[in-house]
Amino acid sequence: MIILVRIITVFSLLITIIGGSDIAASFQVEPVMQANFFGVPIQASIVLDVCPHGPPECNFTSIQKAIEEAPPVRPFLSWSNFDEDNPLLIPLIRVAPGEYEENLIILKGVWLQGKSHENTLIRNVSFNNRDSLAPSFSTIFATTGVVQPLFIEQLDIEGGLEVQGSFTGIISNNIFSSGENTIAEVSLSGNLNILIQDNIIEQSLLINNVSPLFELLGGGINDDESIALNNNVLSAVLRSAKTNIEISNARDVSIFNNSIENSEKASFSDGVGISVSFSDNIRLNNNLIERKASGIIIDRNSTSVSIVDNQLINNSFTGITLHEGLVQGNDIQGNDESIGISWLWHTGDEIGLIENNFQNHRISIEASDPALSREEDFLQRLSQLNCQENSFLDNENDFAIFLGTASLREELKNVCNN
């Protein structure tokens, strides 16, 4: 698999080198265009301008044409090669305000920058006439490779973004809206280091499968954070059963300060705010999840999970469902029929339920075991539960054991009240 991915990456580089080898001499470099990527300084190698009217106001009328003409990022062996005196050089494509009806195919590292997501729109021109290299219904399809970073910012993208292969990059200050046949407004797979921040995403963000090339290039840029989702707004205009943020087969993920809201009162069919599966070292801090069926679901195959200082408001079924990890300082408010935390106790290691606020739930903390294990197994599992300093207000039941006895419920209550 690693060999195949590397062959695809090299093939893409050959295409882009052949297509853009002479273009660098035609355009002016603007060293002032700088940014920062997980601590790595980046700078425009050349600047290509796109506008609706074309020359002499700009270089191109087509964003795709500018991408094809841009030279690729020069290959490198390690992120540690770069510092303030030697930044990562990447071609900058600046898109002026206007509407662009294009489907973009990106096979190289580029820095795609709109003037503002309020006035720079890329609209999917056709869902039925796609190049064979891009089997996607999304407006932007990219497969760039591990050493060809992709930066997309300040655009209104109608129809979504799909990235496959070993993806490293930044997606910031964009608006993503649905199109016909759009599975997810942002779909990323085979990822190394990704920063997704300050976007407005109409419904869903899907991240799957951290690249097997992660250990190359020094294990990525930041050993503690391979994926960061910060300050995004995901708002379902219409009621939807979609999961808004879905993370699978990933590690070292930070999900901070995002807002996920349904526009209507939640029902049991309104999907999940954040879902994590088969992942490790996941941190969810200061997120707002409101009016979904379930706020946060962490599967049994995910480890080293911390859920801290989030607001989970009026989710109709559960606020948080998990097997292990730290749950601390969360405000979990229900709708009289909901469960605050569903602790699936039959698997997992230690779990901490500390300083959370539970309000207006049918059940605040429910211990559930779909495997119907023996009572002595549950009592032993209680020794791995750190439950303290939680507050309870206007709940029908503070504690419950799914299909369990009253004596087991009292044991759970005693652990949490000590």
Q: What is the pTM of this model?
A: 0.85
**Helix (H/G/I), strand (E/B), else coil: 248:** strand
Query: Is residue 296 within 8 Å of 323, Cβ to Cβ?
Result: no
Domain 245-418 has CATH 1.10.3470: no
For residue 372, how many other CB atoms are within 10 A of its CB? 9
pLDDT value, residue 213: 44
Helix (H) or strand (E) holding 10: helix 2-20
Among 221-225, 229-233, 408-412, 413-417, name the most confident range. Answer: 229-233
Helix (H) or strand (E) holding 271: none
- Taking only the tens place, the pLDDT of each residue in 305-361 is 999 999 999 998 999 999 999 999 999 998 778 999 998 877 667 899 999 999 999
Q: How confident is the model at residue 370 (pLDDT cuts 50, 70, 90)?
A: low
**Helix (H/G/I), strand (E/B), else coil: 244:** coil
Q: Which residues pair with 167 in a beta bridge?
A: 191
Alpha-carbon span 15 to 274, nearest angstrom? 38
Alpha-carbon span 39 to 170, nearest angstrom? 12
| Greater pLDDT, 231 or 28 | 231
- Taking only the tens place, the pLDDT of each residue in 372-411 is 567 777 787 888 889 999 999 999 999 888 766 777 888 8
Query: Is residue 163 within 8 Å of 123, Cβ to Cβ?
Result: no
Beta strands in 217-300 (DSSP E): 227-230, 233-236, 245-248, 251-256, 259-262, 272-277, 280-285, 288-290, 294-298
- Taking only the tens place, the pLDDT of each residue in 168-206 is 788 999 999 875 555 568 888 776 678 899 999 887 888
pLDDT value, residue 34: 64
Q: How confident is the model at residue 54 (pLDDT cuts 50, 70, 90)?
A: very high
**What's the 3-state SS for 109-150?**
CEEEEECCCCCEEEECCCCCCCCCCCCCCCCEEECCCCCCCE
Q: Is the pLDDT of residue 273 over 80?
A: yes
Q: How confident is the model at residue 365 (pLDDT cuts 50, 70, 90)?
A: very high
Q: Is the pLDDT of residue 4 over 50?
A: no
Computed over every residue of the chain, the mean pLDDT equals 80
pLDDT value, residue 353: 95
**Strand duo 245-248 + 200-201: pairing:** unpaired
| Greater pLDDT, 152 or 10 | 152
Average pLDDT, integer, range 14-41: 51
Average pLDDT, integer, range 113-132: 76
And the tokens for 168? 């490293």
Q: Is the pLDDT of residue 255 over 80?
A: yes
| Greater pLDDT, 239 or 2 | 239
For residue 89, how many other CB atoms are within 10 A of its CB? 19
Helices (H), ranges, 263-405 = 375-381
H helix count then E strand count, the chain: 4, 37
Q: Is 32 exposed, middle or buried (0-12, 13-18, 19+ CB in 10 A)?
A: exposed
pLDDT value, residue 284: 97
Domain coordinates in residue numbering, the chain: 1-231, 245-418
Half-sphere exposure of 134 (CA within 13 A, CB side): 24
Query: Is residue 390 within 8 Å of 397, Cβ to Cβ?
Result: no
Q: How confident is the model at residue 147 (pLDDT cuts 50, 70, 90)?
A: low
- Taking only the tens place, the pLDDT of each residue in 257-268 is 999 987 665 555
- Taking only the tens place, the pLDDT of each residue in 156-167 is 998 888 887 766
pLDDT value, residue 401: 83
- Weakest mean pLDDT among 10-14, 132-136, 252-256, 328-332: 10-14
Q: How far is CA 334 from CA 44, 306, 337, 338, in A?
A: 49, 21, 7, 6
Q: Is 36 exposed, middle or buried (0-12, 13-18, 19+ CB in 10 A)?
A: exposed
- Taking only the tens place, the pLDDT of each residue in 235-247 is 754 445 578 899 9
pLDDT value, residue 249: 87
Q: Is the pLDDT of residue 418 over 70?
A: no
pLDDT value, residue 336: 76
Alpha-carbon span 157 to 110, nearest angstrom? 17
